[in-house]
Structure 1
C-alpha cells in the first residue's frame, strides 16, 4: 500500500491512500480547468503531481513519522517532461512548483530552477510504477499566437492544480473545515436582489433621468457576447451599481460564475463592499485586500462561522462576488507562490470590472493589458474598463499594443458628458500655498485636493482655525476618516461652513458635493475626478467652480510628467477640458508616446520565450505595483480601539480582533516605521503588532504626524 497523508492519532488503516489522493486532486483540477477547456490537462497534472510519493524513501518517511525532507515533486514533473514533449514541459512547471512555487526555467537565482528539479529525479525514475497507461494525448484548447499565451495557460493550470491539492488534502486532514466551504448564493438570487434595489430609483431629477438612461442601456448591452468592454460614465452617473447590474445579467446570459470587482485603493474598498453587502444576502460578497491578512493566523476554531467561511473563500475566490484591489488582482496574476496563484483559475468564466480603470500603472501597463486580453480571449471572461475618464487603451494604428475593445456599454459618451456637465474649469496659474489657503478661506464651502499627504498636512495647518476646517488623508485611520466624512456631509447638507483639504483619496468613490473645488495640478484624469466632487447632483443654479493651480513650491516628482501632459491638453481643449476627446488626447500622450516605458521592468520578456524558457519567479519579483512595502500601525483612536487592543494582548486567537482593528490602522513605509520605532513612538505588542504609544503624534484633526526628517513626498493618499 502506498500512502499520501497521515493524521495524528489515526491508525494506518485510515491513512489516505496515494491513489485516492492522486485521483482526488485529478478530479478537482480537471473540473477547475474545464472552465477554460483544459480538463484533460488538469487531470494529468493531478494524477502526476505527487507521483514521487511512490518512492521507497517517501513511504519510509510516512511509516516512521519522520520529519526528513524527501523530494516528491520532481519525478512526476520529469516523467511528463520526458514523455509528452512540449505538453509535458508546461505540465512539469506546474508539478515542480506545486509546493515551492512556479520556478524559473533554468537559472536558480531565486531558488531551484525547473532544470534543477528535473535533474533531481534522474536516480529515481525506475522506483515508481509504470506510467504509460496513464499518459493520454492532450491538445491546447486554443491556437496560441504568442509564447506568452502558453506561459499564461501554464499559470492557470498551476492555479487549478494547487487549489485542487489544497482542497483534497483538507478534505482528508480536516473534513469539518472542508465541509464549511460554500460558493454562496446563486447569481440568479443576486440579480433579483439587485433588480429590487434599482427598481426604486426614480427619474425624478435631470441627473437621475440620465442615470436611469445609462442603467437601461447597460442592461440591454448585457446580451452582447463576452469580451473586453468600456463603460464611460461621468462622475455621479451611478457607475458602481450600473456596472454590477450589467455584470450579473451578462454572467447569467453566458453561464459565467462570478463577478470580480477591482478597485484601486484600499481606502475605498470597504465602502464599495458595504454598498454591495447592503443589497445582497449574507455570504454573497467577500472583500480581499491587504492591511491585516488573517490567513497568517491558525485560529479557525475561534472565528465565528461566517468569518471562517469568508476567510476560506478569500483563499481561492470561490464566491459569487469578490471585491479586491488592483494590487491583489494584478500581482496575483504574475505571482509564483501557490497561495497567491490558488485563486486564478476562478477568474475564468467571470465578469471582471476594473473600477477607475485610468489608475492602471503606466510602468506595468503592457503586462496588465496582456493578462486582461488573455482572460477575455481564452478564458471565457468579460472585462469591463469602468471610469469617468476612459484611458486610451484601444488598439489603433498609433497604439498597436492596445486592446481590442468589443463595445462601449454606456449610451453616447459624448452626449452624456455634455448632459452631465455641471462645472467650469479655471486655470489659476502659479499659486503659493499661502495663496491657496486664502482661496479656501474665501469660500464658505470648498474642497482643496493636493498630491501628497505631506502637502495636505501643510496646507491644512494654514486653515485649521477657520470655521468648518477639516483634513482628509490616509494618515488618518479608516474610523477617523469615516467620522470626518460623516461630519463633512452633515455640514454640506445644512449649509454650514465646510473647508476641506484632502489628498486624492476623496476623488474615487466618495460621494460629496461642494460648490467650489481647487485642485493641485496633476494628471487630467485626477483633475476630472476632483471636478466630480463639485455640484455632483446639479444642485446649484449655475455651474460649480473648479480651479487648478501649479504650486509655487514646485510639483512632487511623481506628478510632473502627468501635469505636463495635462497642461498640453488643457491648452488644446480649453473650451471643454473634460470631454472624451480631451481625455483621449491626454492618455495618448501618456501611453502612445511612451510605448517603450509601458513594461519598464521587461516583465513580459520573462514569460514570452518561444522555447518555454519562462522565468516565473523572476517575473513575480519584478511585478510589484507598490515598490515600497508598507506596514500597519494600530492607533488608539477611541475606546473601542483601546478595548480591542486589550483583548488582543490576552487572546490566543487574534484573527477576529485584527479584522476589527483594520479600522484603526495607518499604513506607513518601512523606513518611516523603523524611524518611528527608533524614537520610541511605537510598541510591538506580542512581537507582532505595532501600536502607536506616543499619542502626541496622532492629531485628531490631521491624523498621524510623521516627523519631517523621515517624511516622504511620495506619500500619495
Structure 2
C-alpha cells in the first residue's frame, strides 16, 4: 500500500504526494535552515517524524474524502521518545514538543486538557510498521553544540532550552509549510513567489546606493548637516566590532535612522549576517522609516510588516502575493516591523507566528525608539535579546534620542552592555550641540488657557495624555474660530493618520496655519517640525521626545523654541503616566538640562527602581 501526505487533482492518485517524499523533503528543508543555528540533526529528525501518524489507513481514508478526524501529530513524537537513548533522549524530548505542536502550536507539558504534552504521549498509536522500511532513522548525534554554551545557572539554561525549542519549531514549521506549498504549486492550485535575493548578495549594491544617498545629503550646507555627517562617520567606524549589543544615542534630528542603517549594512558585511530587522514601536512612524529605506535601497528589497498594513498599498498583484508570503517567514533582506510583531513572534507558541524565528537568527536588529519597550515586559524582552545575541549570532542596536538605562551596571538583570557599546560620538556633547529647544513648566493650564496660547501662534503643537482631552480641546479651539486646526489620535485609522501627517508636513513647509492637537502618537520619531509645543505632564522621556518635534531642523533660534509642560487639572493622567510624572519630579531639581543624557539616565533609574518586579508582568501576576 502506498501512503500519501497530501491529495491531488487525479482520482488515480498519480499527482498525490507520497508520504515518504513529504517526510524526507521536510527533513531536508528543516536541516538546511537549521544548519546555521547548529540544529541540523535535530531539525532533520523533527522533519522526518512530524507526520508519522499519516501512516494509518484512517488518515488515508480522510485524504480520500471520508469525513473523519484523524490526529496525526502524536505518533512521531511517541516513536522518537521510545527509541532515543542516552544524551540524545533529552534532546528528543525537546524535538517532541515541535512535532506535537506543528499544527496546533507548542503544547504545555502538563495542564488540565487532553492537548498537553504528557497526556498526548500517553495515548496508544496505531500506525503501519511499513514506515520503518521507507524511512532511514538514526537517532544518534542529536545534541547540538550550542548546548555546551548554555550558562550553568539552571534558570538561565532553562530559558535557553526554551528558545532552542522555538528555533527548532520554526525550522520544522517553515519546512513543512514550504513542502506542502510546493506540492500545491505543482498542482496549479496556487502561485508562490518567495524569491528574495539574499542580503549578502545585495550588500555591494546597497552600500553603493547608501553612499550616493548620503553624499547627496552632505552636499547641503549648514551646521546640522555637518553634525549628521560626523555622527554617521563615527557610527560606521564601529561596524567591524564583534556582534553583540550596541546603543545609538542621538538627539532628534541628528540623523540616527540613516546612521543606524549605515551601521547595519557595514556590520552585516563584516560578519556575514543574513538580514536587517528594523523594529519600530508605532505604526504612525513605520511608514516614514520604510519609505526612507525603500528610497535608499530599492522598493523591491524592503518588507514592511505590521498589523495595519493594507493590501491595496501594493501596486501589482504579483508584488502583493510576494509581500504576503514574505510576512509569513521574513525571507526579505530588510524587514521593517513593529516591536509588538517582533517580540510576539519570539514568544509565540503559534506556528504561524513562530515560523519566521530561524530568519531572525544571524541578523542585525535595530530597536528604534528603544525607550518605548513595554516596561511591564522589560525583563522577558531583555532575556530574549540576550539569548539571541549569545547563541544565535544576532546584533542588537538600541536606537533612541532618550536612551533607557538597560545596562546591567544600572539595572539589576539588565543587558550586558560593554563600555564601548555606544556608537554615537560623545552623546553628552552631541546632546549639547543638538539642543534646539528649552523645556519650561507653566503649572496648571485649562483648555481655555491652551486655546488662548494657540491663538497667539500660527503654527503650534499640543500633546495631551488622552483621546478625550484631545477631542475636547480640539472642539473648544474650533468654537473659538482658530484656523488650521488638526486633530490626530489613535481613533483615526492608519490610512487616515497617514494623510493627516502628509497634510501637516505640507502646511509646516509652506508656512500655512497649522495648529495640531494630538495624543502621544505624534511624539516618538514622527518627522514634523513645529516652532513651539505644549505638552501635558508625562514621563521625562515623553517630554524630551515631544521636544524633538520642535525646531527639529535647527533653523530657528533656540530661545524662542519653547516646549511648555503643563498640568491638566480637568484631565487626571492615567495611573502609569502619573507614576512617571512622579519619577520625573524626583530628579528634576538635580539636573539643569532635562535634555541631557545624565538626566535621562537618572530618570530611567528612578522608573526601574520604582517598578521593581513590575518589569516582568508574570512576577506580578
Same fold per TM (> 0.5)? Answer: yes
Contact preservation (8 Å) 2:277, 2:337: yes
Shift of 1:370: 1.0
- Distance in 1 (CA, whole Å) between partners of 2:558 and 2:150 is 56
Aligned residue in 2 for 1:566? 584
Aligned residue in 2 for 1:213? 230
Contact preservation (8 Å) 1:167, 1:178: no
- Distance in 2 (CA, whole Å) between partners of 1:383 and 1:121 is 46
Aligned residue in 2 for 1:162? 173
Shift of 1:542: 3.5
Shift of 1:2: 2.5
Trace 1:179-198 onto structure 2 (pairs within 5 A): 180-184=193-197, 186-188=201-203, 189-198=205-214
Aligned residue in 1 for 2:437? 423
- Distance in 1 (CA, whole Å) between partners of 2:92 and 2:310 is 36
TM-score between the two structures when normalised by the length of structure 2: 0.91
Shift of 1:424: 1.0
- Distance in 1 (CA, whole Å) between partners of 2:600 and 2:325 is 41
Aligned residue in 1 for 2:154? none
Tell me the SS of whatever aligns to 1:174: helix
Which of 488, 500, 508 is the matching residue for 1:472? 488
Shift of 1:155: 0.6
Shift of 1:388: 0.4
- Distance in 1 (CA, whole Å) between partners of 2:494 and 2:89 is 54
Contact preservation (8 Å) 1:472, 1:501: yes
Shift of 1:149: 0.5
Contact preservation (8 Å) 2:284, 2:522: no
Higher relative contact order at CA 8 Å, sep ≥6: structure 1 or structure 2?
A: 1
Q: Which runs of 5+ in 1 are unaligned?
A: 604-621, 623-717
Contact preservation (8 Å) 2:10, 2:16: no
- Distance in 1 (CA, whole Å) between partners of 2:105 and 2:336 is 25
Aligned residue in 1 for 2:48? 47
Contact preservation (8 Å) 1:512, 1:533: yes
Tell me the SS of whatever aligns to 2:612: helix
Tell me the SS of whatever aligns to 2:566: strand
Tell me the SS of whatever aligns to 2:14: helix
- Distance in 2 (CA, whole Å) between partners of 1:294 and 1:155 is 29
Contact preservation (8 Å) 1:52, 1:128: no
Aligned residue in 2 for 1:580? 597
- Distance in 2 (CA, whole Å) between partners of 1:122 and 1:21 is 21
- Distance in 1 (CA, whole Å) between partners of 2:383 and 2:75 is 33
Deviation string for 1:648-685 (max 9, x for gaps)? xxxxxxxxxxxxxxxxxxxxxxxxxxxxxxxxxxxxxx
- Distance in 1 (CA, whole Å) between partners of 2:214 and 2:375 is 35
Is the counterpart of residue 389 in structure 1 residue 402 in structure 2? yes
Contact preservation (8 Å) 1:54, 1:129: no
- Distance in 2 (CA, whole Å) between partners of 1:572 and 1:70 is 68
Is the counterpart of residue 399 in structure 1 residue 415 in structure 2? no
Q: For residues 149 and 442 of structure 1, do their structure 2 counterparts lie closer, same or farther at Cα, with a shift above 3 Å needed?
A: same
- Distance in 1 (CA, whole Å) between partners of 2:518 and 2:177 is 44
CA RMSD of aligned residues (A): 2.3
Is the counterpart of residue 348 in structure 1 residue 361 in structure 2? yes
- Distance in 2 (CA, whole Å) between partners of 1:276 and 1:294 is 19
Aligned residue in 1 for 2:428? 414
Contact preservation (8 Å) 1:35, 1:380: no
Deviation string for 1:567-607 (max 9, x for gaps)? 2222221x11121111111111112332311111249xxxx
Is the counterpart of residue 276 in structure 1 residue 293 in structure 2? yes
Q: Which runs of 5+ in 2 are unaligned?
A: 152-156
Which of 117, 120, 130 is the matching residue for 2:120? 117
Is the counterpart of residue 59 in structure 1 residue 60 in structure 2? yes
Trace 1:257-268 onto structure 2 (pairs within 5 A): 257-268=274-285
Which of 427, 449, 456 is the matching residue for 2:463? 449
- Distance in 2 (CA, whole Å) between partners of 1:236 and 1:409 is 16
Q: For residues 542 and 120 of structure 1, do their structure 2 counterparts lie closer, same or farther at Cα, with a shift above 3 Å needed?
A: same
Q: For residues 141 and 505 of structure 1, do their structure 2 counterparts lie closer, same or farther at Cα, with a shift above 3 Å needed?
A: same
Is the counterpart of residue 289 in structure 1 residue 295 in structure 2? no
Q: For residues 481 and 24 of structure 1, do their structure 2 counterparts lie closer, same or farther at Cα, with a shift above 3 Å needed?
A: same
Q: For residues 105 and 586 of structure 1, do their structure 2 counterparts lie closer, same or farther at Cα, with a shift above 3 Å needed?
A: same
